[in-house]
Amino acid sequence: MAKVSRKVLLPALLSLAAFALPSPATAATVATADAAPSGAVATADAVPSGAAAPLVGNQCLATSYPSFYAASVKSCNGSSSEQRWTVSGELIRMAAHPGMCLSTNYPSFYAVSVDGCNASSAKQRWTFDGELIRMAAHPGMCLSTGYPSFLAASVSGCNASSSQQRWTGLGELISLTAY
């Protein structure tokens, strides 16, 4: 655990790298938001009629910016600006601070945080693959968390069966599907 903490928590505190994600919706819904025009947000309305409604978890992607840049998961609260995200191309922006995007300094650090948006920066480009959120420049690395024992967001090797890497978007929330 201490080794994981050094790899995730300390880099988050030291690097204050950028990290921002879109609002929670099913993988298909989030993928739709990724393809949608700039500023568009995935919503439950995007689920085709007759299709299963997206699973929404109780733990949502969040950041306490501007007090703290690191990304983590917190109990979902749809009215909290800390938990609201939009997708613009491959950028995941904070809805309340659209100039701040989800980011990581991988491979130097594994931590995820928010930083000033820069569409040409590999550290801020994300793609949606089912319930996985992959780094566009390192597609073998996915948005992850150590929840429930560790709340910080990080990147780690993609594993579609890991409940700590499966995300659902609904409205402007992004939640861990299984929690």
Tens digit of each residue's pLDDT (9 = 90 or more) over 128-167: 999 999 999 999 999 999 999 999 999 999 999 999 999 9
User: Total domain count for the chain?
Assistant: 1
User: What number of other Cβ atoms are within 10 A of residue 139's Cβ?
Assistant: 12
The three-class DSSP label of residue 176 is strand
* Residue 148: predicted pLDDT: 92
Tens digit of each residue's pLDDT (9 = 90 or more) over 45-87: 333 334 344 457 899 999 999 999 999 999 998 889 999 999 9
CATH number at residue 104: 2.80.10.50
Tens digit of each residue's pLDDT (9 = 90 or more) over 96-124: 999 999 999 999 999 999 999 999 999 99
Residues 124, 102: contact at Cβ < 8 Å? yes
Task: Select from 132, 176, 173, 172 the least CA-distant residue to 39.
Answer: 172
Tell me which residue range forms the domain holding 124.
Answer: 2-176
| Token pair belonging to 50 | 């007759």
- Whether the pLDDT of residue 11 is over 50: the answer is no
Rounded Cα distance between 17 and 19, Å, is: 7
Report if pTM > 0.75.
no
* Residue 171: predicted pLDDT: 86
- Three-state secondary structure along 85-132? EEEECCEEEECCCCCEEEEECCCCCCEEEEEECCCCCHHHCEEEECCE
